[in-house]
Amino acid sequence: MFLESSRYAKQKTVTVQNPDGTVVQAVTLRRLPYVAGTPFVVKENDRLDIIALNRYKDSAMFWHIADANTELEANDLLNETARTINVPET
């Protein structure tokens, strides 16, 4: 269902019936532990993939930064300049 490199690759899926009767596959909730990292001050035009490329040499690892912070939508981390976000070691 997901690529092997996806953060959801090892998550269990469940079959759920919606109120309208349709049946869908859903991914179970991922519990995220606290991850230590380096504070990063957001500047105008910053992007998570570029931050990940600079930190990890892999832009696809942007989700490590997203998981280390509390926003539900990853790109919301960058909406406010001068905001400090957590950029984990790996």
Q: What is the mean pLDDT of each run of 10 residues along the chain (90 residues)?
A: 83 94 92 88 96 96 91 90 93
Residues 6+ apart with CB under 8 A from 20: none
**d(C-alpha 8, C-alpha 76), whole Å:** 20
Is residue 24 one of the residues assigned to a domain? no
pTM above 0.85, yes or no: no
Output the pLDDT for position 4.
87
Is residue 21 one of the residues assigned to a domain? no
Is residue 39 one of the residues assigned to a domain? yes
Is residue 42 one of the residues assigned to a domain? yes
Domain of 37, in residue numbers: 32-88
Output the pLDDT for position 79.
95
Is residue 23 one of the residues assigned to a domain? no
Q: Tally the domains of the chain.
A: 1
CATH of the domain at 72: 3.10.350
